[in-house]
Each structure stands twice: as structure tokens, then as C-alpha cells.
Structure 1
Amino acid sequence: MEFLDYTHNLWLVAASLSISMVAGFTGLSLTKGIAGQTVAMRKLSVSLAAVALGGGIWSMHFVAMLGLQLPIPIYYDAMITLGSILVAILMVGLALLLLHFYRRTPLILTLAGGIVGLGVVAMHYIGMSGLELCRAVYTLPGVGLAVLASCVLNIAAFWVAYGQRRHRNILLGTVCFGVSVFAVHFAAIAGTRFVAVDSLLEIGPLIGNETLAIGVLLSSFMLCGAFLLSGVTFLTPAAKTEPDPEPGTAPQGDAPGPLPVLRIPYEQNGQTHFIDARDVAFMRAEGHYTLLYAGAERYFCVWSITEAERRLAAGPFVKSHRSYLINPAHIVHFERRKDNGFCHFSLGAQTITTPVSRSRLPALREALGL
């Protein structure tokens, strides 16, 4: 079996890396701040992000394939090529559904990254199976390296991007995602050999490099347009050194500042519900999320304690400890110790005590009128 020699067009290699970065930023930005949206709007945001990320994986792969220079002309089966992009979009969509409709635990983050990693590999090898007049020959170590690298790198990308939903995390997650898709493609290609074949085994119509280039150009154009739209909203707060305008806050500009958030979202049975902020006695940090205590009930909220403090800056909550935001209206007893204090809440049939750190005592005493 005689293997074909091949080289890469370095300009198209660089373009493929740029496409994966653009797709990563667009997809990760589209899902920022959707926790406060209705279930229907969250589904739409997740769908758009899946198209951006999955379409970016596909575009990166075929831009790189356009840069693969073989000594013979090659064609692609249109049906298999279309199937490869659908697989990428569906796998990414499944991962995003887990991240945005379930509690974001370490297991969920790892599972989501692994699903996307497998989706990247599946898209690559399905796309490669669509080659005509040329057959790809794989080695077991090459396939194993591609699968391992894809899963590890994408798990890392989602841990970074979803560890905290801040601008810095999204930018770092973009780099991790873009590099992972790029690295997996070329790691897989490094373990692949090509041989010429005479027969065609097409399932659907054939497309050549010229037609493929048009398709890739159109998909890249749409990705870049979405990237620009996402970038405008992403960069505007940084220019004003103000946070993103979120539901429950006043618009930027001449408005007097943030309005009190009247409702706080919480997750229950895979659905998002809302509770009046005045009915919440206190909020306690639980990893990257918070627990709401209201009456005899306890609810799970996707906000981190830092995000909750920002959103509820106008009241009625006071930060009494790095892990607690409390509503002074629900305190039934305040106990002062030497260097700290404790607040007691009567919730249902039980009394719950929360700590007050030394640095937070003055603000709490002021809120209580002491």
C-alpha cells in the first residue's frame, strides 16, 4: 500500500485556528446570563450556542482540510459531510443542556466536556469518511491520542468557562476550546495516512474543494457576524467599567443605578421558578452556587454568592460573611460576640444561626438600627 505525501497551507492552518476561537467565544458568550431567562428563552439561547460551537467545529475541520494539499484531486460526499455537522451540533447541544438545565456540579462539568470532546472526534472521523478518490488509513494509537486529547482538553475548557461565568473565564474558556478543537484535528491528521482509490462510494452528490470552500466561507461569515454581535455586548460593559445590564437592574446611561431585584430565580425539577426577594431570609454560598432559605423551604439558585451580592446591591440584603447574604427583616435575634456575631432566624419549626464576620459587623448593626 503506497501512502500519499501531503503538506499543509499554513495560511489556512492559521485561519482554521481563528475560526475555532471565534466559534468558542460566540458560543460561550451566547449562554452568559441566561439563568434569569424563561425556560423557552434558555432553550433558544442554548440552541443558538450549539449551532455556533458545533458549526465552528465543522468549519474549523474543513478549513483545515482545504489546507491539506494532496497530489491528487479529492471530493467529499455531500450527505456524509452534512451528517458530520449535525453530529457536532447535537453533541454540543446535549452538553449545553446539561450545563444550563441541571445543577452545575463537577460531575456535570466533566460530563459536558467529555460529550463535546467525543463530539469533536466523531465530527472529525465522520467528515473524513466522506472523502472520495482518497481513503484515510488510521492507526490505533493515532485514534486513541485524538480521543484522549479531545476529551481532556474540552473538559478543561468547560471547567474554565463554567467555573465562574465572568468575562475572564469566558475568554480563557474560548482559548481552551479553540486550541482543543485545533489540536485534536491535527493530532488526528498526524496519525492518519492517505491512499488513492479508483472507485467512488458516494451516498449522496459529490462536492469538490471549490464548492466546499463556498460552504465554509458562508458558515464562517455567519460565525463572524455572530462573533461581532456577541463582542459588542461583551466589550461595552468593560469600556464603561460597569457590569452587564441584567434583568432587574436599570439600563445603562442616564438611569440612576440598579433597581432592587424583586424576584430571585431558583431551580426545581429541571425548571426555573422565581421567589420574591423579600421572602428570602438569607442566602448561603454552596460552591459556585447559592442556597435560598425562605420559610421552612430551601431552594437552589444558580447565582454565585458574588453574583447575588452584585444583583442585590440595592437591597434588601446585607453581606454578613463571605458565604452569607442576609435579609435583616427576617432576623429575630442578634448576638454579639467579642470579634464577631451571630444572627438567628426562625424558619418554620427550626431556628437557624448564621455567622457575622468582624469586618461586617458595622454594616449589619447599621442595617438593624443598632
Structure 2
Amino acid sequence: MGGRARNIVEYSHDPLLVIASLAVALMAGFTGLTLTRGASGLPAGRRQVVVAMSAFALGGGIWSMHFVAMLGLELPILFYYDALTTMISALIAILIVGVALLLMHFGRRTRSRIVMAGVLVGLGIPAMHYTGMSGMELCRPVYSASGVAAAVGLSVALAVAAFWMAYVRRDTRSIVFGTLGFGVAVFAVHFTAMAGTQFTIVQQAGADGPRIGNDTLAFGVTLAAFLISGAFLMTGATVAAHEDGHPGANTPVPATGTDVSESVPATGEVRIPYEKDGRIHFVEARMVAAIRAEGHYTVVYFGAQRALSPWSMSETERRLPDTGMIRTHRSYFVNPVHVSGFERKKDTGVVFFEGGGAIAKAPVSRSRLSEVRALFGV
């Protein structure tokens, strides 16, 4: 039932819930960016799953940050939130982040796409915020035009900056800076929007407020956000470990011989992608001396260069069987053509590469030792 509006009331925030909201935003950013690292090198079906998980973690985290901060709002009156409107605001955040991640991981990643994804999320954050605010019961938010404009402008600028930090380079450093960028963006936009908002009391007959207190609800949302992010991170780590440790049963074993050029099949025209200066480049497999696992990515060594490739180790193994490269360790592929020496170390070994390159040596695991020795006739 409607009622008449009273005077504008003063408000403040619970500092503990403000800190908790920032922690939720940072955790969500880290989870989403970690999950999508190397996703562009996965098969389309698996990439869709990873992007969906990341959208849920990152978009849900953006909403959780907003909701925890709103539950920390302290007014001199009783108030609560409409469940349906609150759920719609969460779905807005997840959907918009999902579309932005699709832009990043399906199709060629260009600078214009990075900016486009940032703008999309930058518009989505205030859309989620003001939708969620409209669900307040027993009081009514009143916005100023300048406050809305400031929140939207800041949101777009910070979201573009966050995407730029996270996606121009896709390495550990980018994840750290991207996490900080996303966390600060969501946090700053929320409180900028709140600075341009006032609240008026709305009387409603028979209103008795929610059955669960805001503090209890905030604790539950924060805990749920961290548990979901942790579960997604563990899932991603388990998948990565499985991929990087998968035995190369399908890797062909060349015939025994002392002449490497005769025992190794001619390297094909397979080209391996790698990232440099915010763009994807390609190098022919025959030019690559070694490939090493690094999380969801792989490190490619060719000439004097060391570069990150979006291929996972399982994707690398699937694409390289006809190139002559062999797996010497759960984390290494090597190109025998570039190997200049071999050393036996009890039950393991080491292969050495021609001087002056980006990599000097690579390990040979116990399970691969006989295969490598047979290849080189030692």
C-alpha cells in the first residue's frame, strides 16, 4: 500500500560491511580473471563452460558487492528489499558480464573489443545498482541528475581501464592488476552513486520488515560469494592440473636411430599462437625449441623470445602430433631439431638447446626417459 513521503533522512554505512563489500569485489574479480586465463585456447564447448562460470563469479560478485554494501546502509528507519527486484538486479550483472566475456573469448581480441567490453560492463554496473535500489521497501531513494551522470561516467571509465589491464596482456601480472581494477571500479561506482542519493520515508500500513536482519543477511551473502568463488577456483585448478599432467599416450614415438634428422618426422606447417603487445601472433612449430606449461597458459620458446600462448598443454598435445615435437615431462614439449645435448641424471634426464636461445635446457621425467633416449639413440 502506498503512503505519503516524509522528510529526507540522514544515513551512514557500517564500516565492517563496507570493507566486506570491497573484499567480495576483489575476490570476484580474481576468480573471474583466473578462470578465463587461457580460455581462448580451449575448444568451443569447454570455452563456453569456462566463460559461463566466470560470468557467474564476476557478475555475481559485482552484485554481491553492491548488496553487501547496501545491507551496510544505516537509516534511522526500518527498511528491507523486495526479493524479485533484487534477483533481477543480480541477473542483470551476470548477463552483461557474460556478454562482455563472450566478446573477449570468442573471436579475435582487438583493442576495440576490449574497450567495447569495458563500456558494456561500465553501463551494466550502474544499471544493476539502480535496479537493486528500486527494490527498497519502507523508504524511497531520490537521485540527483549529477549523481547519476557521475556514477555512469566513472563506471564506464573504470570498467574500460579494468578490462584494459586484464586483457591487453594475459599473464599473472594482468590478473593482479585486473583484479584491483575491477574491485576498485565496482566499489567506487557504488559509493559515488550513493553520494548522489537521498532517502525519504514511505509509510506502509502493516509493514513489519524482513524476518532476517540485514547484518545476518550480509554475512550470508558474503560467505556465499567467497564459497562460490573458492569452488570455481578449485574447479579451474583441478582442470588445469588434469590437463597439464595428462600423459601423452598419443604422442608418436620416433624410430630408434642416431641421426636426429632421420628419426624425427618433418615438422609440419602448424602455427602456434602467442600474445605480444596486446595482439595474437603466430610462429611456425618448426621454429619453436620448447613449450612449457604455466597455469592455463603455456610458454613458447623460439629464437631469443619467450612468449605466452593461449593454448593449454592438452590443446598443445592435440595439435602437435605431426610436428615432431615430443613430450619430455608433464610440463614440457621439446623440438628435437633444436636439441644440442642430453644428460642422464639417475632415473631422469636433461636435454640442452643450442646456445643463445631463450631456453637453455628442459627436464626429462622418469616416465619419458626411455622414449627420449630411444629418440636420440643414447
TM-score surpassing 0.5?
A: yes
1:154 and 2:144 equivalent? no
Match 2:269 to one of 271, 279, 282? 279
After TM superposition, the structure 1 = structure 2 runs for residues 9-24 of structure 1, keeping only pairs within 5 Å, are 9-24=14-29
| Structure 1 stretches of 4+ moved >2 Å | 206-223, 225-236, 244-247, 258-262, 276-288, 291-294, 309-313, 318-323, 358-361
SS at match of 2:198: strand
Any gaps of 5 or more consecutive residues in structure 2?
A: 1-5, 253-265, 286-290, 310-319, 324-354, 361-378
Bigger shift: residues 37-46 or 84-93: 37-46
Q: Is the 8 A contact 2:22 2:65 kept in 1?
A: yes
How far did 1:220 drift? Answer: 3.0
- 1:355 alignment counterpart: none
- 1:163 alignment counterpart: 168
In 1, distance between residues paired with 2:192 and 2:304? 51
How far did 1:154 drift? Answer: 0.9
Shift of the 215–66 alpha-carbon distance from structure 1 to 2, 3 Å rule, reads: closer
- 1:65 alignment counterpart: 70
Shift of the 213–281 alpha-carbon distance from structure 1 to 2, 3 Å rule, reads: closer
1:136 and 2:127 equivalent? no
After TM superposition, the structure 1 = structure 2 runs for residues 45-60 of structure 1, keeping only pairs within 5 Å, are 45-60=50-65
- 1:343 alignment counterpart: none
SS at match of 1:102: coil
- 2:338 alignment counterpart: none
- 1:220 alignment counterpart: 222
- 1:289 alignment counterpart: 280
- 1:319 alignment counterpart: 303
After TM superposition, the structure 1 = structure 2 runs for residues 183-262 of structure 1, keeping only pairs within 5 Å, are 183-199=188-204, 208=210, 210=212, 216-229=218-231, 247=243, 249-250=244-245
Residue 278 of structure 1 aligns to which amino acid in structure 2?
G
Shift of the 209–131 alpha-carbon distance from structure 1 to 2, 3 Å rule, reads: farther
SS at match of 1:2: strand
TM-score (norm 2): 0.65
In 2, distance between residues paired with 1:261 and 1:291? 23
In 2, distance between residues paired with 1:176 and 1:159? 9
Shift of the 28–360 alpha-carbon distance from structure 1 to 2, 3 Å rule, reads: closer
TM-score (norm 1): 0.66
- 2:47 alignment counterpart: 42
Q: Is the 8 A contact 1:26 1:226 kept in 2?
A: no
Q: Is the 8 A contact 2:273 2:280 kept in 1?
A: no
In 2, distance between residues paired with 1:105 and 1:209? 49
Number of aligned residues: 290
Shift of the 88–280 alpha-carbon distance from structure 1 to 2, 3 Å rule, reads: same
Any gaps of 5 or more consecutive residues in structure 1?
A: 237-243, 263-275, 295-302, 330-357, 364-370
Residue 54 of structure 1 aligns to which amino acid in structure 2?
G
In 1, distance between residues paired with 2:250 and 2:121? 38
How big is each residue's C-alpha offset from its partner over 1:221-264, in whole Å with a ceiling of 9 and x where there is no partner? Answer: 3331243356668999xxxxxxx7695x556xxx9xx99999xx
State, as a whole percentage, how many aligned pairs show the same letter: 42
- 1:120 alignment counterpart: 125
Residue 126 of structure 2 aligns to which amino acid in structure 1?
V
Shift of the 89–211 alpha-carbon distance from structure 1 to 2, 3 Å rule, reads: farther
Shift of the 146–71 alpha-carbon distance from structure 1 to 2, 3 Å rule, reads: same
1:91 and 2:82 equivalent? no
SS at match of 1:72: coil
Q: Is the 8 A contact 1:76 1:132 kept in 2?
A: yes
In 1, distance between residues paired with 2:274 and 2:91? 41
In 1, distance between residues paired with 2:24 and 2:228? 12
How far did 1:282 drift? Answer: 7.9
Shift of the 60–207 alpha-carbon distance from structure 1 to 2, 3 Å rule, reads: farther
Shift of the 360–293 alpha-carbon distance from structure 1 to 2, 3 Å rule, reads: closer
Q: Bigger relative contact order, structure 1 or 2, given CA contacts below 8 A and separation 6+?
A: 2
In 1, distance between residues paired with 2:236 and 2:275? 26
Match 1:80 to one of 75, 78, 85? 85
In 1, distance between residues paired with 2:237 and 2:51? 21
How far did 1:41 drift? Answer: 1.1
Q: Is the 8 A contact 2:122 2:158 kept in 1?
A: yes
Residue 280 of structure 1 aligns to which amino acid in structure 2?
V
CA RMSD of aligned residues (A): 4.0
Shift of the 277–260 alpha-carbon distance from structure 1 to 2, 3 Å rule, reads: farther
How far did 1:101 drift? Answer: 0.3
